[in-house]
Chain A
Amino acid sequence: MALIDKPKVFQKFKDFHSKVKANNGKIGHNHRGLDVNLNNACNLRCEHCFTNSPLGDHVKEYIPADVIARVSDEAHELGVFEFDLQGGELLLNKPRLYETLEAIGTDRFYTYVTTNGFHMDSDTASQLKKLGVDRVSVSIDSIDPSVHDSFRGKKGSWEKALAALALVQDAGIDPYLNITVGRYNAQSEDVRALLELSRDQKYTTLINVATPAGMWQKLDEIMINDADRAYLIEMRKQYKNILRNLWDPFDRSREAVLGCNTVNRMYITPLGDVLACPYVHIKIGNVYEESLREIRDKGFSFSKFSDHSELCLAGEDRSFVNRYMSDAGTSIFNPVDVNDIIKRDDSASRAEQITHKML
């Protein structure tokens, strides 16, 4: 399925493109996507999980279909054109996933499901296609099955992930091979081999940079550096099937950057909390208490989310990470509140001004 097969989606995509173009290629405050963690239960134990699922964190809660329907309506009004359902692992409860897809109104969104692929089969792939899923994203950590399996904490997970990509491709769904890239592997032969595999199989590769969040909180040594960033751009040019949310997908020279997508792509937890993005565990509202528009406005009232950033705040901006992502125990279920951050920053700024005057 492609954007072009859903006219409502294509129109929103076209509007997004026009607004980005009018804003000198920067994302600005234009909405792009919504990531919804429907439920946090998972059958794998990934070392880098940003939702703390391996710790069994809030694995019973889920967002009911009627709330999904309302949030989807609000997202559509805001011009959101991408809708990503993720977990946890959503194929652990397929009836709930199918009910959720029906509630979304998938004719209005480029809809995708992020999965580890372990429980994918041809019937499931067909059902997802029937329910309007356009894309399925599966992460692969290494070309070496044993490395992937060890990282994911389950033998056989590599084989299942590869098989899932093939199954969804056969079902007519866009297969995305997701690779998490950090300092430890950015320029490795392993990642190169994955890029080759993805291209040869006619998948799209989505690069996510490693972030010091969730199970990897405070591990800022995993963050990519300038050389890694430049290398990724080179790979982007070489393997024309690579995307990153930070990059401008419309730029045919494959160099331009849209900017960090905080608030442009909001993340909703199973508790209904809305975070600025999946990896920035700063709460900007809750869908049980406010509309998405109100939440969006609050998010953009924080200058770090409002101002353009060429860097991914959570994965590349060390000063942002040190200042706003380092409180012990922060997680998607225990996020920092943006109002507290704004007050803290205002106080710090006033103190600095007073000190400056005194000097």
Chain B
Amino acid sequence: MEVLRNKIEDIFMSVFEVANEDVDQISYQSVPTWDSIGHMIMVSELEAAFEISIDMDDVIVISNLETCIEKLQKYVQST
């Protein structure tokens, strides 16, 4: 779980261009870099990093770090 969280945090920091201490504060559209394009890049990076394909139903629900971790658990556990 810690490994999952750390990997997702790294992706968030890189894609949304935020510092480590801010990564759990941001949410979709709360920062300029987390717009639809940013969301797209985030999903793509997650899929590449974990070698998964995220369902569209989950893609549109991921809105912050915690929902992302929650949703990704089922994909990572099943691989």
Seen from chain A, the residues whose Cβ lies within 8 Å of a Cβ on chain B are 2-5, 7, 10-11, 13-14, 17-18, 21, 110, 202, 240-241, 249-250, 252
Decide: B40 and A14 in contact? CB cutoff 8 A: yes
Contacting chain A: which of B1-9, B18-26, B28-36, B66-74?
A: B28-36
Decide: B33 and A240 in contact? CB cutoff 8 A: yes
Decide: A4 and B41 in contact? CB cutoff 8 A: no
Decide: A10 and B28 in contact? CB cutoff 8 A: no
Seen from chain B, the residues whose Cβ lies within 8 Å of a Cβ on chain A are 14-15, 17, 28-29, 32-33, 35-37, 39-41, 43-44, 56-57, 59-60
Name B29's closest neighbour in chain A (CB-CB): A2
- Give chain A's interface secondary structure class: helix
A250 to B15, CA, bound (A): 10
Which residues of A lie under 8 Å from residue B39 when comparing CB positions?
A: 2-4
Nearest CB on B from A109, distance (A): 13
Name A13's closest neighbour in chain B (CB-CB): B40
Which residues of B lie under 8 Å from residue A2 when comparing CB positions?
A: 29, 35-36, 39
In the complex, given contacts A110-B36, A240-B32, A250-B44, what are 14 additional A-B residue pairs having Cβ atoms less than 8 angstroms apart?
A2-B39, A3-B36, A3-B39, A3-B40, A4-B59, A7-B56, A7-B57, A7-B60, A10-B60, A14-B43, A14-B59, A17-B44, A250-B41, A252-B17
Which residues of B lie under 8 Å from residue A110 when comparing CB positions?
A: 36
A250 to B41, CA, bound (A): 6
Which residues of A lie under 8 Å from residue B17 when comparing CB positions?
A: 240, 252
The 10 A-B residue pairs with the shortest CB-CB distance in the complex, in nearest-first order: A3-B36, A2-B36, A249-B37, A7-B56, A4-B36, A4-B60, A250-B41, A4-B39, A11-B56, A17-B40
A10 to B40, CA, bound (A): 8
Nearest CB on B from A298, distance (A): 31
Decide: B56 and A250 in contact? CB cutoff 8 A: no
A4 to B60, CA, bound (A): 6
A240 to B32, CA, bound (A): 8
Nearest CB on B from A108, distance (A): 14
Decide: A252 and B15 in contact? CB cutoff 8 A: yes
Question: B14, B29, B36, B41: which contacts A10 (Cβ < 8 A)?
Answer: B36
Which residues of A lie under 8 Å from residue B29 when comparing CB positions?
A: 2
Nearest CB on B from A205, distance (A): 12
Which residues of B lie under 8 Å from residue A13 when comparing CB positions?
A: 36, 40
Nearest CB on B from A20, distance (A): 10
A5 to B35, CA, bound (A): 11
Known: A4-B28, A7-B56, A10-B56. A250 touches B40 (CB 8 A): yes
A11 to B43, CA, bound (A): 12
A3 to B29, CA, bound (A): 12
Nearest CB on A from B23, distance (A): 16
A249 to B39, CA, bound (A): 12
Decide: A202 and B59 in contact? CB cutoff 8 A: no
Most buried by A among B32, B36, B40, B44: B36
Which residues of A lie under 8 Å from residue B43 when comparing CB positions?
A: 14
Decide: A241 and B32 in contact? CB cutoff 8 A: yes
Name A241's closest neighbour in chain B (CB-CB): B32
A110 to B33, CA, bound (A): 19
Question: A3, A10, A21, A202: which contacts B44 (Cβ < 8 A)?
Answer: A21
Nearest CB on B from A110, distance (A): 8
A14 to B58, CA, bound (A): 14
Name B63's closest neighbour in chain A (CB-CB): A4
Known: A2-B29, A4-B28, A7-B56. A252 touches B40 (CB 8 A): no
Q: Jot down 5 A-B pairs with beta carbons below 8 A, ordered by A.
A: A2-B35, A3-B40, A4-B39, A21-B44, A240-B32
Name B37's closest neighbour in chain A (CB-CB): A249
Which residues of B lie under 8 Å from residue A7 when comparing CB positions?
A: 56-57, 60
Decide: A10 and B59 in contact? CB cutoff 8 A: yes
Which residues of B lie under 8 Å from residue A249 when comparing CB positions?
A: 37
Which residues of B lie under 8 Å from residue A250 when comparing CB positions?
A: 37, 40-41, 44
Decide: B28 and A252 in contact? CB cutoff 8 A: no
A226 to B73, CA, bound (A): 48
